[in-house]
Each structure stands twice: as C-alpha cells, then as structure tokens.
Structure 1
Amino acid sequence: MTAEPVQHWPVPPLDGYTVDDLLTLPGLPPHTELIDGSLVLVSPQRYFHYAVIKLLENGLQLTLPEHLWIVREMTVIIDRRNGPEPDVSVIRAEALTAMNQSRFQASDVVLAIEVVSPESMSRDRDTKPHKYAAAGIPHFWRVEQTGNEQPVVHVFELDQTTRSYVHAGMHRDRLKLDVPYEIAIDLEIPLPPVRPTAE
C-alpha cells in the first residue's frame, strides 16, 4: 500500500511575504492576494459574484472615456506588503503598457470595486477600503447582496484631507453617477430559472 504524498505548504518569511513574492512564487492559486504580508487564497466563486462583476464591467464600458480603461481581478500594488486584487478596477489608460502586464500601481487606479462574499466580508468592508483610501484611490464601490438576491452598491469618495472614504450614496435598482465619469447602470441581475422538482 502506497502512502499518500504529503502536501508541503511554504513557510512564510519571518517578516511576511512581499509583492515580489506574490508575483514570483510558483504554484499559487489564481487570484491570490497579498494583505499585510500574508497570502490570501480566494474561495470558489459564487454565481452572484460572477454576475455582478460582469454587469458592472459591461455597464462601466458603455460610457467609458478614452483616457480610462477597465480591468478585472488584477493585482494593485499599494506598498511592499500589500497587493490586493479588486474585482473590477477603472485605471488610467496609459498605465496599461504591455499585453503580459499583471499588475498596476495604486496611483493608476481611479475606481476600485469589491463584490462582497461571505468569506471576504471583513476584508471587503474594512481592510481593503482602508488601504485603498490610504493609497489615494479616489473612488471605491462596495457591492453587497440584498435579501432578494439583487445587488446594492455603496459608493464612496475619497476625502483628501483625512485619506479616508466618505459614503456618497447607496444604489439598488439603478446606478447613476457623474464621477469618476458619467455612469448609468441598471443593477438587476437575471435570476436562474426555477426548475420543477421531481415528485
């Protein structure tokens, strides 16, 4: 009888991982993030998360000015020990310089969007917005699932004096804004069809 191979996880450095580690460690699962020197592995995606990202990406694209670009699930370097991955980011177009590019600087990000999942709730509501604000990202949206399984978008704008976000509105059925550019998105997500159960 052959013994099962033992899975060996890397031992983190004494001072934690760095962005360089995040970008070069072999075998990391897709969409691994770096928060305060710790690697954060992402849980399997739920349909709500997927559907909201697709909805917002498509909606943002409709009125996107030429000097901006939309990317999804790409690393944003905040500092040496923080490389989170917003679900959707609006970046300055000149920041995209190569087809094999895998990251952007926080200074290139105009809007960061996080779609809250049960396992990421604390990070999406507290840790990440705090870091995005401290890094000077001017706009942040947090998207949550309501009781009727539809999204609600909390919009935040950066207070430059305090380097913290100010809540600028909550949107349920339609998102209509004039910053960071003119945006109008219907927020209804089609629900999966209900299949009859066998009797």
Structure 2
Amino acid sequence: MTKMSRERVLDAALELVDQVGVGGLSMRKLGAALGVEAMTLYYYVPNKDAVLDGLVERVMTRAFAIDPRAGWQHLLRDFAVSLRRELLRHPGVLHLVATRPVTTPDAMRMLEAGVTVLREAGFGLREAFHVMNTVAMFTTGHCLAEVDPPGGTPPRVPEVAPEEFPNIAEAIQAGLGTPEDHQARFDLALDTLVEGFALVARREIPAG
C-alpha cells in the first residue's frame, strides 16, 4: 500500500474531481477513495479549502518548467501549451484555476520564477506579473470554451439560416468548434500575445 502523504491526497482529489466535479468533492468522499476515514486526511491537509488550493497548485506546477537555455518567449509558450494540456486532462479543476488565486508555496515559487525570467528580459515588475497572469487567464478561458465540466450538459450546435448568417453558417460547415479549430485558434492567439509582449519588452508600445 502506498504511504499516505499530501501528494497522494491531492492526486486522489484530482481524480475524484475529474469524475464528479468540484461540487461533488467532499472530505468524506475523498477519504473513501483513499480507503481511510475523512478525519485521517486532516493530518495531511488542514481543510477542504487547502485541498482546493492544492489542486490549483497541482495543475499549475505541472504545467511550468524553466529551460535555462531558452528565452522568456519560449517560457510563455511552453507554459501556455502545458497548462492547456493539463486543464484539458483535468476539466474538473477548470473553474478552480479560473477563480482561485495562487496561494500555496509551490505555486508561488512557480510564479516567482516566471516573473524573475521576465524581469531579467527587461519587463518591469508590474509588467512581468501582468504578462504571467494574462497568459494563465487566456489559457484558462480558452479551455473553458473547449470542454464541458464533469456533470455538465454539452452545448448544442445552433441551427443557423445561411441566408441570414452566411459567414457563421459557412464557419460551422467548415468545422468551427472542432478540436482542430480550437487548436488553430489557440495557436493564433498565443502567437499574437507573445508578439505583443515582445513589443512591450522593446518599449515600442506603452505598457499602460
């Protein structure tokens, strides 16, 4: 039997949330999934809020790594791509990542490392935080539009009259909303974001 630890509790919580959503998560259910009483969990996580914060940490830190040989643009692209991959794997935590701030030490170390790289590249302190937050928010929002949370009802494709909405009808016919379309939109927006940040780094446009 694997030894109980905070990491094991969070991994089990992540698996449970993927099945039942955040609304279905309880310490009792989490304990049952691990084969222990709910009270046992409090040796490893102080309360349910700590579990939720830990889930945000789990997804964010798995998506973030610094390659010392690469520049800040590679860091942002890799972070966005990796975060999207993790969020699509774990749609149950999407709303958590979208609404809960980074608060755990491991998650804050990730943010600190990213801001350090950006400041070394010439971004100001506030700009560096804005850049990191913008990439995370863009990626999370994109994923919210891509997948349905556990227990949700998949949206239906609207019926569109071609004579009234010719462009929309043509786009739907061409595959608007397919996984391939989501990928293309994500790539286009990410490229545009990173190129815009490069202008800020060179001070060709005001940072605001």
> Shorter-chain-normalised TM-score: which range?
under 0.3
- Rg comparison, structure with higher value: 2
What TM-score, normalized to structure 1?
Answer: 0.27
